[in-house]
């Protein structure tokens, strides 16, 4: 049966449907309109589709409304790049998702790829071989799009339409570019400023919405709907349409690069940048991608690609990646030592460093500016994408989110260490897996199924199409449990046949996931290989994604009862130039701190001024942290009771949660230091919720 959790989320149980639920379903069937009577007409078929154009290969009405529990249904692609052809200087990804001049103009190769692909430099780098291929797209499509061709358009609008018709109801369009890749690539037709490209891609996404609207008779009538809040998204999905969310994945957002470890942006730049992106409709974003920047360190790429990106890191920032031994089970990807042609771009006498195999974590985590950006996103109710962050940066980001009970966190395409999974679910976040082949996707989905059941959440996928990642290869015409055409959509209401564009017909069994239109075929392959349970979890993805988004929108920061309160301590480190007085830990800024003498058995006491029901205490440690300490409460300042304790503190930002208890006084009692120094706290927060 379905039930409602304490968080307000509905979830799947393991018991049979109750009699009441069955009666409710009977009433819905008896009293509710049938699909044919509700539709009135084939509303999903455009009246003015361009001719010629791609076929869709799907018949039947897309499902509308909600299920019996009031939940939306449908799949979530949490990571796609509709407009990547406009990034990287405009000539890295060839072809466009739409064109006012029609499909022949949209689906054509880059000019330098003619006549035989000899100058398809990036195709050669990413695919191997000599890069040669038949450049002709429409109408023959001899060599592209293909599952292993990373330089050609995979997101033509009609292919996205097929995915929507096949059951997808949320698409996150990540606006993407990289200024360094743009600057070093041989071919480009515009400048390399990242924010200029992001603005253009946002505009073109709105233009695509208008383009589709015109096919259906006017503004707001098309199936492609850009949404800016979760309620709007729910309304769109209930109408049977596709909710499109704008995200950003770029290496130097707001100009926040760093050169020789010196930030090239300020807090004012971050605020202005977040405000601008929010105004464009962006609601989720990455703070770093591929290169360390002024906000955070990245999770490395591996092998030859990692070497090439490390070269780009040096060219952009003046520093190579630096590693250290990891302090927990999480780790970044191994950089590897494979040779890359990119090394020839390094200055004379400069070489990519060697890396110790037992030092697999980026030394760079979330910077002070990065923390400011995270908190700025929280203020604006935006969702933080943690894929591509170093584990050090992710750990700190999750500390911040947990300390404030902020659920707006997304892992959208398998670039997060899997050991973070439960923490993401625990705070209320959403996770999607990269579009791996059906066997690999199923294996990972089943590995984490118990956690999804525990936290009552659905699942998503991140296609990363146009993202230079590679997609599922064909399993073969004779593979076991192969896709048989035609097949029915997951809801049972549509029939899906092979997809044809121009003179080419694609078959997932023999072509793999060559373009976006084959997403429904790939989901059917998952069903056949992995079973209905995996697909059911995916079908609950839209509801879970919107749960996370809606909870972030509704979040209200708790009142810090300790802010500006009177504080005393067992001791305070003396310094002729800087005060480390107790009040520095409750003054609302990380620019100051309280520090004790260099010995154990030290305490910091905070007088809240009145008695409150205290449920949560946050401690932002400086490097001198407490390994063993207690949170003690008192109503009179004399009799103390322990509300929470640990003997395994590791510094950073700690959040102590406990059953509410009346207290006027809160004492942090240090028992065992984690360093040779004393105890030192930037800020202590005390909350009633």
pLDDT one-digit tens code per residue, 434-461 = 999 999 999 999 999 999 999 999 999 9
Question: Which one, of 150, 157, 248, 245, lies nearest residue 195 by Cα?
Answer: 248
Q: Is residue 292 within 8 Å of 254, Cβ to Cβ? A: no
List the beta bridge partners of residue 75: 168
Q: Is residue 616 within 8 Å of 657, Cβ to Cβ? A: yes
DSSP element (H, E) containing 433 = strand 430-434
The residue that leads in pLDDT, 3 or 444, is: 444
In whole angstroms, how far apart are CA 193 and each of 174, 203, 251, 375, 643? 17, 16, 11, 25, 52
What pLDDT was estimated at residue 579?
96
Distance from chain centroid for Cα 143:
31
Question: Which one, of 417, 161, 360, lies nearest residue 431 by Cα?
Answer: 417
Q: Is residue 461 within 8 Å of 432, Cβ to Cβ? A: yes
Distance CA 462, CA 440 (A): 14
For residue 27, pLDDT over 70 is answered with no
Provide mean pLDDT across the span 425-440: 97
pLDDT one-digit tens code per residue, 325-352 = 999 999 999 987 788 878 888 999 999 9
Token pair recorded at residue 432: 């999607």
Domain ranges of the chain: 566-688
Distance CA 409, CA 585 (A): 28
Distance from chain centroid for Cα 583:
38
For residue 21, pLDDT over 70 is answered with no
Provide mean pLDDT across the span 309-329: 93
Q: What is the pTM of this model?
A: 0.90
What pLDDT was estimated at residue 20?
33
The residue that leads in pLDDT, 510 or 121, is: 510
Q: How many CA atoms lie within 13 A of 593 on its CB side?
A: 18
For residue 8, pLDDT over 70 is answered with no
pLDDT one-digit tens code per residue, 564-606 = 999 999 999 999 999 999 999 999 999 999 999 999 999 999 9
Distance CA 474, CA 508 (A): 6
Provide mean pLDDT across the span 654-670: 96
Tell me which long-range contacts 46-49 makes (C-beta under 8 A, separation of at least 24).
46/212, 46/215, 46/216, 46/222, 47/215, 47/216, 47/217, 48/214, 48/215, 48/216, 48/217, 49/215
Q: Is 116 left (phi over 0), alpha (psi -120 to 50) or beta?
A: alpha
What pLDDT was estimated at residue 205?
98
- Write out the DSSP string of 442-510: HHHHHHTHHHHHHHT---EEE--TTSS---PPP--TT-TT---SSEE-TTSS-EE--EEETTEEE-HHH
Distance CA 266, CA 250 (A): 18
For residue 639, pLDDT over 90 is answered with yes
What pLDDT was estimated at residue 303?
85
pLDDT one-digit tens code per residue, 93-107 = 999 999 999 999 999
Question: Which one, of 485, 57, 42, 447, lies nearest residue 223 by Cα?
Answer: 42
Query: To which residue do tokens 């070497």 refer?
Result: 307
For residue 28, pLDDT over 60 is answered with no
Token pair recorded at residue 227: 């949404």
Q: How does strand 2-4 pair with strand 10-12?
A: antiparallel
Distance CA 509, CA 512 (A): 6
pLDDT band at 40 (very low <50, low <70, confident <90, very high): very low
Provide mean pLDDT across the span 415-421: 94
Residues 6+ apart with CB under 8 A from 430: 76, 78, 409, 410, 411, 424, 457, 460, 544, 545, 547, 548
The greatest distance separating any two alpha carbons of the chain, rounded to the nearest whole angstrom, comes to: 86
Distance CA 43, CA 63 (A): 12
pLDDT band at 546 (very low <50, low <70, confident <90, very high): very high
Q: What is the mean pLDDT of the chain?
A: 92
Q: How does strand 224-226 pair with strand 495-496?
A: unpaired
pLDDT one-digit tens code per residue, 61-97 = 999 999 999 999 999 999 999 999 999 999 999 999 9
What pLDDT was estimated at residue 37?
32
CATH architecture of the domain with range 566-688: Sandwich (2.60)
């Amino acid at each position: 049966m379905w039930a409602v959790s304490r968080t307000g989320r509905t979830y799947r149980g393991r018991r049979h449907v109750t009699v009441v639920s069955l009666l409710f379903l009977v009433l819905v069937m008896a009293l509710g309109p049938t699909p044919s009577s509700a539709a009135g007409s084939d509303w999903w078929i455009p009246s003015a589709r361009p001719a010629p154009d791609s076929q869709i290969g799907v018949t039947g009405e897309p499902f509308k409304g909600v299920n019996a529990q009031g939940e939306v249904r449908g799949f979530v692609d949490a990571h796609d790049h509709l407009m990547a052809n406009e990034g990287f200087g405009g000539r890295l990804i060839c072809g466009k998702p739409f064109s006012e001049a029609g499909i022949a103009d949209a689906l054509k190769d880059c000019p330098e790829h003619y006549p035989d692909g000899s100058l398809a430099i990036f195709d050669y780098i990413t695919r191997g071989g000599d890069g040669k291929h038949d450049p002709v797209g429409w109408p023959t499509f001899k060599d592209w799009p293909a599952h292993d061709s990373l330089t050609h358009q995979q997101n033509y609008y009609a292919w996205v339409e097929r995915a929507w018709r096949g059951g997808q109801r949320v698409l996150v369009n990540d606006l993407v570019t990289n200024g360094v890749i743009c600057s070093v690539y041989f071919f480009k037709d515009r400048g390399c400023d990242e924010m200029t490209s992001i603005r253009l891609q946002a505009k073109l996404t709105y233009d695509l919405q208008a383009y589709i609207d015109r096919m259906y008779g006017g503004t707001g009538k098309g199936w492609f709907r850009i949404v800016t809040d979760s309620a709007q998204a729910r309304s769109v999905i209930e109408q049977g349409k596709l909710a499109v969310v704008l995200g950003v994945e770029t290496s130097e957002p707001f100009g926040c690069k760093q050169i020789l470890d010196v930030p090239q942006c300020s807090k004012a730049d971050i605020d202005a940048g977040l405000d601008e992106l929010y105004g464009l409709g962006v609601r989720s974003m990455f703070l770093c991608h591929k290169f360390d920047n002024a906000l955070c360190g990245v999770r490395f790429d591996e092998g030859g690609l990692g070497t090439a990106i490390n070269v780009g890191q040096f060219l952009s920032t003046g520093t190579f990646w630096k590693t250290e031994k990891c302090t927990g089970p999480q780790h970044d990807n191994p950089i590897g030592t494979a040779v890359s042609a990119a090394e020839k771009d390094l200055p004379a006498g400069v070489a990519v460093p060697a890396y110790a195999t037992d030092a697999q974590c980026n030394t760079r985590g979330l910077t002070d500016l990065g923390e400011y950006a995270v908190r700025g996103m929280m203020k604006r109710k935006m969702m933080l994408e943690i894929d591509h962050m170093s584990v050090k940066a992710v750990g700190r980001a999750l500390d911040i989110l947990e300390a404030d009970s902020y659920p707006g966190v997304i892992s959208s395409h398998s670039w997060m260490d899997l050991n973070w999974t439960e923490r993401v679910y625990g705070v209320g976040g959403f996770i999607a897996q990269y579009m791996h082949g059906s066997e690999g996707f199923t294996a990972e989905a089943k590995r984490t199924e118990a956690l999804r059941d525990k936290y009552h959440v659905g699942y998503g996928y991140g296609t990363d199409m146009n993202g230079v990642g590679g997609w599922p290869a064909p399993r073969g015409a004779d593979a076991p449990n192969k896709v048989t055409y035609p097949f029915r959509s997951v809801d049972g209401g549509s029939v899906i046949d092979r997809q044809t564009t121009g003179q080419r017909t694609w078959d997932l069994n023999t072509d793999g996931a060559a373009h976006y239109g084959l997403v429904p075929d790939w989901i059917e392959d998952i069903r056949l290989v992995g079973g209905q349970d995996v697909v059911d979890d995916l079908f609950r993805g839209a509801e879970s994604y919107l749960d996370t988004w809606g909870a972030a929108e509704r979040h209200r920061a708790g009142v810090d009862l300790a802010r500006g309160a009177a504080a005393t301590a067992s001791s305070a480190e003396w310094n002729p130039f800087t005060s480390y007085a107790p009040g520095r830990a409750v003054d609302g800024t990380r620019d100051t701190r309280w520090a004790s003498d260099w010995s154990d058995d030290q305490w910091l006491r905070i007088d809240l001024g009145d008695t409150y029901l205290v449920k949560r205490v946050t401690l932002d440690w400086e490097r001198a942290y407490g390994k063993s300490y207690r949170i003690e409460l008192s109503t009179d300042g004399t009799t103390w009771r322990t509300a929470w304790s640990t003997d395994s503190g590791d510094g950073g930002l700690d959040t102590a949660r406990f059953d509410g208890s009346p207290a006027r006084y809160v004492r942090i009692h240090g028992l065992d230091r984690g360093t040779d120094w004393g105890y030192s706290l930037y800020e202590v927060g005390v909350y009633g919720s």
